[in-house]
Structure 1
Amino acid sequence: MQIGLHVLVRFQYWIRGFINTMQGQPNIVIPQLINAFRQKDFLSIVKAVEATPSLVNIDPVVVQLYGGALRKLAQHKKAAKVFEKGLKKFPSSTDLMNSYGNFLLDNGNPAKASQLFRKASSINTSSLDYKYNLVRSLAAESKYREAKQLGEMLLKNSPNHPSLIIQLAAIETELGNTENAEGYLVAVINIDNRNITALNNLGNLLRGQGKLVEAIKQYELALSNAIQDKVDTPLIYQNLAAVMGLNGDTEAALAIYEKGLTRFPTDSALNKEYAHFAWIKNVSSPFSFFEKQLSVENAALVVVYCELMLRIGEAEKARKWLERLTDHADDSVRLAAAAHLSSALRDMGEFEAALKVSESKLKGTSGDTISLLVEKGYALLSLNRFKDAILVFERVCRMAPLNQGYWTLLSTAYKANGNTTKYSNLCDYQRFVNARMLIPSSDENDSFINVLKDYLSTLHSDERHPIGQSLRNGSQTFENLLDSDNSLLQKLKHFLEERASEFIASLQTEKKHPFLSRLSQDLTFIGSWSVRLRKSGFHKSHYHSEGWLSGVLYIDVPEEVNLGGNGWLCFGRPDINGVEMDEDFAIKPEAGTVVFFPSYMWHGTNPIETNSQRMTVAFDIVPKDKKG
């Protein structure tokens, strides 16, 4: 981008003015910096301070403005260094602590943010702002009870503080106290019936309870107010469109998505969700909005588009764009593009090229390299270099031991390399795959499953499988099925919890085992959905990275499962280009039976070939976090 000569001259004059007034005149310098920040002239602040580094020694406000400007310009590492050095220079500046705490909170370090907010609050005990920010950071740490206690104390002295009340509502939601959360949000709306955040969050709460019509009303009010006040955001369009789609109004949902994309054409999340929705509804050209905005300048959008192309098997389309981003100036874009490019090359059978991309980008990279390491491991598996793959995946599992997918890949490398003992330790199918009736009484079980089948049939209306899922030729429900207030689904949740607890109780803890080390009776469902397969429908082999204990309940099973293994659940058969392995274990589906297994196990299904349906409920469970 070229800068006009008069602008450049004016900018240079402005900096010279700072230099001339700096010595002994901070009362002139600081207001100029503050004014530039208010006008969002962040680059000028950075240039001015860097032209005269001693400016940061004048006052902690200069550090705040400089660090804040770098933050706005997405120069996060540099901003962190500025804040750290500033606090060493001005160790008692509570406002600087507060600014740095907010920076840390936005950049995923709530624990350190909490330390700063606590210290600032202890120095200046009268500041509501510091204590409110501490409530926010404690909630981000999942210390919900401590956050709630502090928030309630603050609310006694500031009963009409909308942001605090909204934060308390979010905390109550995390604690499962939805009635309290709703009460807080309604209280904010009573104070200010145009509060967009409260209206949006109330919509989210109602949506989670399955009260879709009521949720739509709140989202519509939020969007209407936001448009009138010219503060509309992509998220409001996204939420309204999604809940309209869930409520069965496809045309209205598409219209809201398109309205939002007209307003925010380069927003990655909005484009992605529209494409997903248009895809499952079989809309022609579901990626048309995306493709109009693709350019190197919109790099984050391009990365998301390429992810989708890889998930629908269009590796060549992804490759074309990714090759243009692997030298991008932004670290996160460059790393993501390299990892996706390696994946695209693997999909196209170019295994050596895939390995070369991941290895070359790993050299000298100081950022988060785990995605590149995983791609390197994948490429090594595809090249049948199994010993090398083991070393990579053992390292990755040490880096992120809770990610179940990395254990899947390590187990695959062990199996391929003939490390039978290590493979069996992870994938002991006889011990870790458990099938049992949902309800011990056979008659009660049959009756419940039949009622459940009728209800679930009303939820399957999509025409195509979701993008990025293992499902082929079938439909899948959205939202977390077991979060619904529906009494039938709550009964189902109760029965699944009972059966999961029984299975877990039959196992013994092993400290270093990715599954057995986390045995617990305090469980939570992090995902639940129903799948209906139709003719030629099946699940590709896959794993569940975010889970711990996964499961599937069979609701309706076609007769063909009795012949040739059609529709059977198969374990241990990887879906990696260039790696051919047979399954190690299989289960014949039976209506009313629930099967539990560790989330890291490869699992998929053989296709069904008749016109009969195969309906299931699937779910992921993790040991419950201790929430504050």
Structure 2
Amino acid sequence: MTTTAAVLQQAHALAAAGRLPEAQVLLKRIGRLDVALVLRRAEVAQRPTSAVAEHNLAALLGDMGRAAEAEAAVRRAFAKAGDAPETWLVLARALLAQDRFDEADAAYRQALTRRPAYAEAVRDLAQLIWMRSGDAQAALQPFEAALAAAPGAIDLRIARATVMEYVGTAPDIVLAALTADGSHPEIELAAIQAALGVDKDRALAHARAAHALRADIRTALKLAEVHLARSQPDAAQPLIDAVLKALPEDQNALSLQAVAWRQAGDPRAAELYDYDTMVGAWTIDTPAPWTSLPDYLADLAKALRCLHGLTTHPLGQSLRHGTQTTASLLTSTDPAIRAFFTAIDGPIRRHIARHGTGTDPVRRRSTGSYRLSGAWSVQLKPGGYHAAHIHPEGWLSSACYIDLPDAVHAEGRQGWIGFGGAPFTPDLPHQHFEKPEPGKLVLFPSYMWHGTVPFEGDQTRLTIAFDVVPA
């Protein structure tokens, strides 16, 4: 029996025992939310008057990117006397994913009316305010009432720090706000990022405190990251080794392994980051009924730009000075967007076939087939960029160029994608670059550090990105 089949069997057994939340966790782990959806719909049928069953269905539909269906399930939950703040949060997210920003704002506030210190709702509302306005003070305002209701609440302190960081608050101010009301493993973890921008010794102290309070994979990798930020690969290596022994495919650990080997001058770094082999540049196919790629890209760009109705970047991501679509493109009904997934199918399969099988972290996971895990569009403004990052839930990641500014042809690799340089090790710059071209699809391992060079001018840079996982 395959591992996937075994997990499916276990999930069905849990569902039969009435343990649907646990079954859903297992199904999400193997990417089978379609099976979870069948179970949730059956629960609604078995409990036709249950608002909770409708809420659970709505939450799953939201996770699947099926925003309109999620909204409909929430409305049914309300009709069955459901009025929980969690249900209002699901509604708000479904409305946001449909670009109904005023209604989403109102739904977030309804959630907070019912639970003033609801950290997820406060953070989401703050993010929506920020993405719509670019106003840092307005984005932070929802935390005032929340913290008045729950002074010093850990989840609110962390959420506020995230907002502060991504709206441009100075790191020392973020750090002071985080640490003002005592310690906790999550507080120590959050403090590391801010401290790296202030004092690497202090960052190490926070990382050690987090690991001492809770020795797990997250704290181990964060401690390893701080050692690498301090150019101490020998101190980081045992922590990385322990994680990779337990989780050989952990993309975060693999990304840190590459940095540690590079800092140590270990030749294995070049094997893990074999750019010539592992970074593939392909031209997407022209999907029917279009007869030329430029015509298709023009229609695709028009469709995508209709989805970029916000003002600035989301929180907690690599994007700076640009916008990102709020709903997964995988669920779009627009003909040009739907055709994109036909256009990339051939290049993805050719890329996987070119790799073949092997023992390295990419090839050993290959099954010869794939599925997409999320797809979104980014529109960078002049001066915009992606900070160096990885994709921890992926296997292969991507950048597909739809419409580009003239600056990509200028000096300085403006708007190009670079590989190899981690954000916490400025002494290790990118080693490999790919020049954007309309219709070009760049595929690479999800553990590979990558970012974008800022560009000048008055034009935007429009892309689609997605993650690929083995099927």
TM-score for both structures, normalised by structure 1 = 0.66
In angstroms, what is the RMSD of aligned CA positions?
Answer: 3.4
> Offset of 1:133 from its aligned partner?
2.5
Question: 1:138 and 1:461, CA in 2 relative to 1: closer, same or farther beyond 3 A?
Answer: closer
- Equivalent pair of 2:387/2:452 in contact (CA under 8 Å): yes
- Structure-2 residue corresponding to 1:97: none
Give the Cα–Cα distance (whole angstroms) in 1 for the partners of residues 325 and 131 of structure 2: 11
Give the Cα–Cα distance (whole angstroms) in 2 for the partners of residues 580 and 458 of structure 1: 40
- Structure-2 residue corresponding to 1:501: 349
- Which residue, 401, 404, 419 being the options, matches 1:557? 404
- Which residue, 201, 222, 245 being the options, matches 2:57? 201
Give the Cα–Cα distance (whole angstroms) in 1 for the partners of residues 210 and 417 of structure 2: 38
> Offset of 1:398 from its aligned partner?
2.7
- Which residue, 507, 529, 540 being the options, matches 2:387? 540
Structure 1 residues 223-275: Cα deviation after superposition (integer angstroms, max 9, x where no partner): 3543xxxx522221112222333333322221221122122111121112111
Report the 3-state secondary structure (helix = DSSP H, G, I; strand = E; otherwise coil) of the residue aligned with 2:383: strand
> Offset of 1:388 from its aligned partner?
2.0
Structure 1 residues 547-581: Cα deviation after superposition (integer angstroms, max 9, x where no partner): 110011110012221111211111112211x5322
> Offset of 1:465 from its aligned partner?
0.6
* Equivalences for residues 104-503 of structure 1 within 5 A: 131-133=16-18, 137-142=22-27, 174-175=34-35, 184=42, 187=45, 191-192=48-49, 195-198=51-54, 201=57, 205=61, 212=68, 215-223=70-78, 225-226=80-81, 232-282=83-133, 284-294=137-147, 298-314=153-169, 315-324=171-180, 327=183, 334-348=184-198, 350-363=199-212, 365=213, 367-419=214-266, 421-439=267-285, 444-503=292-351
- Equivalent pair of 1:185/1:202 in contact (CA under 8 Å): no
- Equivalent pair of 1:339/1:358 in contact (CA under 8 Å): yes
Give the Cα–Cα distance (whole angstroms) in 1 for the partners of residues 350 and 154 of structure 2: 49
> Offset of 1:452 from its aligned partner?
1.0
Letter in 2 for 1:336: E
> Offset of 1:609 from its aligned partner?
0.8
Structure 1 residues 322-350: Cα deviation after superposition (integer angstroms, max 9, x where no partner): 335554xxxxxx211122223321121x1
| Aligned positions, number | 457
Where structure 2 has 5 or more consecutive residues not aligned to the other structure, the ranges are 1-5
- Equivalent pair of 2:40/2:57 in contact (CA under 8 Å): no
Question: 1:307 and 1:430, CA in 2 relative to 1: closer, same or farther beyond 3 A?
Answer: same
> Offset of 1:394 from its aligned partner?
2.8
1:514 aligns with 2:365: no
Letter in 1 for 2:17: Y
Give the Cα–Cα distance (whole angstroms) in 1 for the partners of residues 312 and 181 of structure 2: 31
- Equivalent pair of 1:541/1:604 in contact (CA under 8 Å): yes
- Which residue, 453, 456, 463 being the options, matches 1:606? 453
Report the 3-state secondary structure (helix = DSSP H, G, I; strand = E; otherwise coil) of the residue aligned with 1:621: strand
Give the Cα–Cα distance (whole angstroms) in 2 for the partners of residues 207 and 335 of structure 1: 27
> Offset of 1:138 from its aligned partner?
4.7
- Equivalent pair of 1:182/1:202 in contact (CA under 8 Å): no
- Equivalent pair of 1:552/1:618 in contact (CA under 8 Å): yes
Give the Cα–Cα distance (whole angstroms) in 1 for the partners of residues 372 and 429 of structure 2: 31
- Between 1 and 2, higher relative CO (CA 8 Å, sep ≥ 6) is seen in 2
Give the Cα–Cα distance (whole angstroms) in 2 for the partners of residues 300 and 203 of structure 1: 21
> Offset of 1:361 from its aligned partner?
4.7
Report the 3-state secondary structure (helix = DSSP H, G, I; strand = E; otherwise coil) of the residue aligned with 1:374: helix
Question: 1:346 and 1:196, CA in 2 relative to 1: closer, same or farther beyond 3 A?
Answer: same
Give the Cα–Cα distance (whole angstroms) in 1 for the partners of residues 311 and 191 of structure 2: 30
Letter in 1 for 2:161: C
Choose 1 or 2 for highest CA Rg: 1
Where structure 1 has 5 or more consecutive residues not aligned to the other structure, the ranges are 1-109, 119-128, 146-169, 328-333
TM-score for both structures, normalised by structure 2 = 0.86
Letter in 2 for 1:293: A
Report the 3-state secondary structure (helix = DSSP H, G, I; strand = E; otherwise coil) of the residue aligned with 1:142: helix
> Offset of 1:481 from its aligned partner?
1.1
- Is the helix fraction higher in 1 or 2? 1
Report the 3-state secondary structure (helix = DSSP H, G, I; strand = E; otherwise coil) of the residue aligned with 2:234: helix
- Structure-2 residue corresponding to 1:124: none
Give the Cα–Cα distance (whole angstroms) in 2 for the partners of residues 602 and 381 of structure 1: 14
Give the Cα–Cα distance (whole angstroms) in 2 for the partners of residues 181 and 362 of structure 1: 39
